[in-house]
Amino acid sequence: MNPDQPLLCSDCSIDPSSDTSLSSLRRGSSGCLCRLASYPYSKVASSFSDTEDTFSHFVNSAGSRPRFTSLDSHYFHGSVFGCSSKKVVMETNHSSSEVTKGSFEISGPARYMSHERRASVSGIEKSRSQRIRHKSLEVFEFLSSEENARTIYINDPRKSNDKYEFTGNEIRTSKYTVITFLPKNLFIQFHRLAYLYFLAIAALNQLPPLAVFGRTVSLFPLLFVLFITAIKDGYEDWRRHRSDRKENNRHADVLQGASFQAKKWKKIQVGEVLRIKVDETIPCDMVLLRTSDPSGVAYVQTMNLDGESNLKTRYARQETTMMDFESGTVSGLIKCEQPNRNIYEFTAAMELGRQKIALGQSNIVLRGCQLKNTDWVVGVAVYAGQETKAMLNSAISPSKRSKLEGNMNRETLWLSVFLLIMCAVVAGGMGLWLGNHKSKLDTVPYYRKRYFTSGANDGKNYKYYGLPLEIFFSFLSSIIVFQIMIPISLYISMELVRLGQSYFMIGDTQMYDADSNSRFQCRSLNINEDLGQVRYIFSDKTGTLTENKMDFCKASIYGKNYGNAAYALDCSTDDASDVLVHKSDITEVKEGRRWKTKIKVKVDNELVSLLHKDLVGKEREVAHEYFLTLAACNTVIPVITQSPAPTNSATNECPVIDYQGESPDEQALVSAASAYGYTLIERTSGHIVIDVHGEKLRLDVLGLHEFDSVRKRMSVIVRFPDGSVKVLVKGADNSIFSILSKASDMVDPGGPSHDIKNSTQNHLNEYSSMGLRTLVIAAKNITEAELEEWQQSYAEASTSLNDRVAKLRKTAALIESNLNLLGATGIEDKLQEGVPETIEALREAGLKVWVLTGDKQETAISIGLSCKLLTLDMQQVIINGNSEEECRRLLADVKNKYGIKTVDQKDARKKIIKNGDNKDDGSSLSSNNFPDNGLQASKCINKTGCNSQQPSGKATGMKNTPLALIIDGTSLVHILAKDLENELFDIAISCKVVLCCRVAPLQKAGVVDLIKSRTNDMTLAIGDGANDVSMIQMADVGVGISGQEGRQAVMASDFAMGQFRFLKRLLLVHGHWNYHRIGYLVLYNFYRNAVFVLMLFWYILCTAFSTTSALTDWSSVFYSVIYTSVPTIVVGIFDKDLSHRTLLEYPKLYMAGHRQESYNLHLFWLTMIDTLWQSLVLFYVPLLTYSNGPVDIWSIGSLWTISVVVLVNVHLAMDVHRWVLFIHLATWGSIVITYICLVILDSIPRYPNYWTIYHLATSPTYWLTIFLVTILALLPRFLLKILQQMFWPSDIQIAREAEKFGKLSYHSSKPKQGVE
């Protein structure tokens, strides 16, 4: 580009005969025309904002005609300051330099205006300049008046930091230091109430009257758990420290004196000037001052910040792009807002000498971004270290708690009640015993007031506190003895089991996506078991059900439909050389080269012929303007690389264009335009260049209004080389049709009125019914008066401090009106592989799938049919209301028509607990269908189930008609904001499918909350984009898709995967396994500890209600920590009730989680009854066996210890479904370890149980007693299991038996790879 040529000046916009040369034009401020004008094309996207606006600011062109470039919507960016023709002195540290400032009234003739017109416009511009200057100064004064405004002195870090004490650039993501680790980690761990409970127990045991166990022994369980958790936390924090050191010791070039020198990141300070080179990472948040591009543009990749891989444009203000940094005299002042987490907004103002410049979001690059396609940039650090926006946004989302864990707390409360009752019984009994034996306390066992021993204490009295205090102390001592009734080891066991489950989920090769090279991710370890109880799935459409890889398929131009004829591949691909008749017309440019795009596009031969005919008529003109709009109305950045040309090409190499776009839609449209000969090849800060069939067309960009969810359209204002100005618009059909010209000149003179508009509408309906995404294309010519009116309105709106967004939308409406219809586009977003089969399987599993999409209704319905979400036998209930009253009426009509009754929310919450809805949908596989006790299960377990009852989602009044609710975003606005939510809830839960169209991100979260807040059903939300974040965080389980729209959904999710089809395996296989394992783990831990405590309780009742124990202190402590903890963890990780093939083949088995078969209150009480029986057998069988034998109490205690360990491990073995080596080692190994520990403890002479195991083990009675205890204790459980499986088998039992005897049939004869 010629450096003397104004950037915004068209090739022929300056009269060659004019006496005003290009070199005579002065470079001005942001209000003046210059080759360094700033034009941000970056689109600001926020997952929590409904609007994304990028706006425009003034620049002047040659002559007095005003020109525009785009600017950001945020405060102070793009504010235009008037400039005088005087020379302004810019102060520096030790010298001054003069910069000549141009004025709005640039001298010299204008090409397109008369002398009078120029005089008039000149006057207008003068008054406008004064008005804008006044508003801009008002903005700067507003910032200056802020008490907490952040002031940075450019290139003077000492002055900046001495005055304001900003943080350094060193970051720390670690929690601890060597000094703070112990106290801080303990403080965090003791946030768990269970830990506080056991700390209190250990503290009580230190008191002399309550010293039941040894003081050291009583601390062991708590210290063990704290130690293990501390090791885990310490290792994780060590990894953070290592990552921090690596990050802080990276180097960047910092201006020191008159040169840039390398400096560690951690030593960078606010106010320092940095130089970043291509592909380097930005070390701190910095305002751009200069770039390698003369126009001040820089390209950055924000992948590390928001997950989006597309390039973003950032700009240096033109007033700073000529700074001489090597002179060492750079200075200035920046006032900006205090550090905040909003990565899409930046409010600041810069002062260079007497000049005040507004800064916005497009002028700042954030820490973590990478510089791309720009050789270097220079900027000043404004936020460093922990104050950078990236670090402020690094907080993790609040953790979720599983539903089963919540129910577990309920049962823990019941165990606490049992504990208090037992302690009260012991204390009360002890009080009665002391009262009855008051006169014998000197001689009776268990309670003696006096020592009867030889030695110093002989004859001395014990400390006797009196009856009331003795009862109280007995109560506290009982709590210490029975403390493990609340299983402390359960918490750490659950964490370890979840960790093991996550390891196998991550390693499942069936959930690995080769296309994106992404494995399954477990981002939360707290809710693995919730995957087995999901009832509602809320799914995004684009990028989740579909690939989000857009293909341009259909075009409606001037009322004619293109795309029905035979397609040919775009000749930009190598395999289309002999397909297209008109190949040479669209591939050859002037130099005999062709452009190649990375996206393959099919072209229509008829449309190609139209574009290459020498037609002068309206149709050719509209088609030309149509593709110009596709190429120009976007924010796509063309990145051109060279690649070897095909062998049949006459050139050595041909350019390849990689379009970096904000969305796949834009990339598809620009690639389609290129396929038809309109190739976008250059975009700078103020103009774009389009190759039109080999001829380069340069368009000056005067303004841009980006797409937002309120306007639902985007427009760009461009000046053509002939001086004409047009606005090119694309947007949603309902948005564009409402602003078309009533007296449209697009109507074919030879046809009836409005044929083109009606034909286009028909084509849109056709495209939507095919499942295509649609956009409408329109344009119009702009007069000078309209342009000036828009200038003035925009200048006022863009500098407004109040309601800026609303005012800018109003400004956009001035230019986006009375448009001429050009046509429409149809883009195909193909379904992902396996989506129909996945949705079908999930529905068979009893899950309700709701789709929440921003697409139009027809498109959503078509996609719903193609993915088998909607079926032809469903009655579609459509609610499209434009007011509260209309929505109320529509909801009432639906309820009356289909006989839908109002649901009591309390009943809705209890429904799943009672029967899991299985009675309504026939999901239960009754054993009556299996005359051979389940051996013929394969005849009845099939994808349609055995029960002939009607499936759920059928209205009461029309039982044979399943309903599908289809509702739009406008209706949801009125329903969710008013008192109509309950009406919508009644209808929604009566439908098999709910399809929400045109919904905003917050509406998605509102729909999820509609179910979550009114039922106990588990909800899962799955999406791939930033607009799905609120929905993902609202649901009980959030799943992110690693798709085409960045990683924001992944970063906010609990689980992440590459394809929607993996959801089937995640829920039906891993979800089922995880729920079953964790449910059994909790019940078993309750049983294991309760049977031990009850055994101690029976012993205390037989020892005058004293808190003495027959077991050694170490045996009591080791029981729940060492003797029996490992088998439960191993079984919780490895056990599988059914194979993955069976679970995938018969999805109805998933409903066991809906019915809470593995963990519920009924099972808890049955377990406690069984525990009571086992504890009685455990206590009395050894006691009666040795009642007359020559054994002491320590020998009986040793027998009880080994008996209870053998009993609980055999109990566990009875419930193991699939034995593997690790389960064998853990189960039988724990018994061996118990014997080893007993031998060691009984070999220590100082313990009272010295040598007892050696005497007992030599007696056959000892071994027979252990065997008898095990048989008698487990016999009722064994018989009950047999009766239940014979007469009342569950679906899981039937399937397991059929699987064992080979009675199940699989559609796939070859076993699938993966976790088996």
Residue listed under structure tokens 């690094």: 394
- Specify the pLDDT at position 799: 55
Question: Which of 447-451, 1002-1006, 1099-1103, 1209-1213 is predicted with the least confidence, judged by mean pLDDT?
Answer: 447-451
Alpha carbon distance 796, 128 (integer Å): 10
- Please report which confidence band the pLDDT of residue 976 belongs to, taking 50, 70 and 90 as the band edges: confident
- Specify the pLDDT at position 829: 79
pLDDT score of 211 more than 80: no
- Please report which confidence band the pLDDT of residue 383 belongs to, taking 50, 70 and 90 as the band edges: very high
Q: Which residues contact 198 (CB under 8 A, 6 or more apart)?
A: 221, 222, 225, 483, 488
pLDDT single digits (tens) 356-366: 887 878 889 99
pLDDT score of 452 more than 80: no
299-303, 504-508, 1103-1107 — which one is most confidently predicted on average? 504-508
Tally of helices (H runs) and strands (E runs) in the chain:
41, 40
215-224, 906-915, 1130-1139 — which one is most confidently predicted on average? 1130-1139
DSSP structure class, residue 396? P
pLDDT score of 442 more than 60: yes
Token readout for 351 is: 């002062």
- Please report which confidence band the pLDDT of residue 457 belongs to, taking 50, 70 and 90 as the band edges: low
- Please report which confidence band the pLDDT of residue 576 belongs to, taking 50, 70 and 90 as the band edges: very low
Average confidence score pLDDT of the chain: 76
Alpha carbon distance 1099, 277 (integer Å): 78
Looking at per-residue pLDDT, the higher value among 324 and 535 belongs to: 535
- Specify the pLDDT at position 936: 37
17-31, 77-91, 432-446, 1099-1113 — which one is most confidently predicted on average? 1099-1113
- Specify the pLDDT at position 803: 65
Alpha carbon distance 549, 109 (integer Å): 50
Looking at per-residue pLDDT, the higher value among 195 and 20 belongs to: 195
Vertex 183: Cα angle to 180 and 187 (nearest 5): 125
Question: For 1070-1080, what is the mean pLDDT?
Answer: 94
- Specify the pLDDT at position 112: 34
- Please report which confidence band the pLDDT of residue 32 belongs to, taking 50, 70 and 90 as the band edges: very low
Q: Which amino acid is at 357?
A: I
Which phi and psi angles does 1228 have, rounded to 5°?
A: -80, -25
Annotated active-site residue in 293, 508, 540, 1028: 540
Alpha carbon distance 980, 879 (integer Å): 13
- Using left for φ > 0, alpha for ψ between -120 and 50, and beta otherwise, residue 194 falls in alpha
- Specify the pLDDT at position 918: 40
Looking at per-residue pLDDT, the higher value among 954 and 918 belongs to: 954
Alpha carbon distance 156, 143 (integer Å): 21
Looking at per-residue pLDDT, the higher value among 1075 and 162 belongs to: 1075
587-591, 607-611, 810-814 — which one is most confidently predicted on average? 810-814
Q: Which residues are registered as beta bridge partners of 567?
A: 604
Report whether 519 contacts 512 (CB < 8 A). Answer: yes
Q: Which residues are registered as beta bridge partners of 689?
A: 682, 698
**Following DSSP, what letter does each residue of 1009-1061 receive, concatenated?**
HHHHTT---EEEEEE-SGGGHHHHHHSSEEEEE--SS-SHHHHT-SEEES-TT
pLDDT score of 64 more than 50: no
Vertex 784: Cα angle to 778 and 786 (nearest 5): 55
Q: Which residues contact 236 (CB under 8 A, 6 or more apart)?
A: none
How far, rounded to the nearest angstrom, does the alpha carbon of residue 219 sit from its chain's CA centroid? Answer: 42
- Specify the pLDDT at position 1176: 94
Alpha carbon distance 475, 1191 (integer Å): 30
pLDDT single digits (tens) 320-366: 888 888 776 788 889 888 888 777 778 788 888 878 887 878 889 99
Q: Which amino acid is at 735?
A: S
Q: How far separated are the first and last CA of the chain, in Å rounded? A: 63
pLDDT score of 1184 more than 50: yes
CA nearest neighbour of 804 among 314, 59, 76, 315: 76
Question: For 252-277, what is the mean pLDDT?
Answer: 91
CA nearest neighbour of 1141 among 1069, 1071, 1074: 1069
Token readout for 303 is: 């992948």
Residue 366 burial class via C-beta count within 10 angstroms: exposed 0-12, middle 13-18, buried 19 and up: buried
How far, rounded to the nearest angstrom, does the alpha carbon of residue 328 sit from its chain's CA centroid? Answer: 46
Alpha carbon distance 1160, 404 (integer Å): 9
Question: For 402-414, what is the mean pLDDT?
Answer: 84
- Pairing label, strands 333-336, 820-831: unpaired
- Specify the pLDDT at position 455: 59
Longest dimension (CA), the chain: 130
Instruction: Residue 320: count other Cβ atoms within 10 Å of its Cβ.
Output: 23
- Please report which confidence band the pLDDT of residue 374 belongs to, taking 50, 70 and 90 as the band edges: confident
Q: Which residues contact 1258 (CB under 8 A, 6 or more apart)?
A: none
pLDDT score of 1211 more than 70: yes
Token readout for 944 is: 């349609």
Q: Which residues are registered as beta bridge partners of 96?
A: 91
Question: For 755-776, what is the mean pLDDT?
Answer: 86
Report whether 348 contacts 334 (CB < 8 A). Answer: yes
- Specify the pLDDT at position 395: 53
Alpha carbon distance 446, 439 (integer Å): 14
E strands present in 801-896: 820-831, 848-852, 875-879
Looking at per-residue pLDDT, the higher value among 1127 and 615 belongs to: 1127
- Please report which confidence band the pLDDT of residue 140 belongs to, taking 50, 70 and 90 as the band edges: very low
Active site residue 540: yes
Looking at per-residue pLDDT, the higher value among 272 and 37 belongs to: 272
- Specify the pLDDT at position 1314: 43
Instruction: Residue 242: count other Cβ atoms within 10 Å of its Cβ.
Output: 11
pLDDT score of 1034 more than 80: yes
- Specify the pLDDT at position 1204: 94
Question: For 891-917, what is the mean pLDDT?
Answer: 68
Q: Which residues are registered as beta bridge partners of 1289?
A: none
Token readout for 841 is: 């399987």
Report whether 1200 contacts 1179 (CB < 8 A). Answer: yes
pLDDT single digits (tens) 693-704: 888 999 998 888
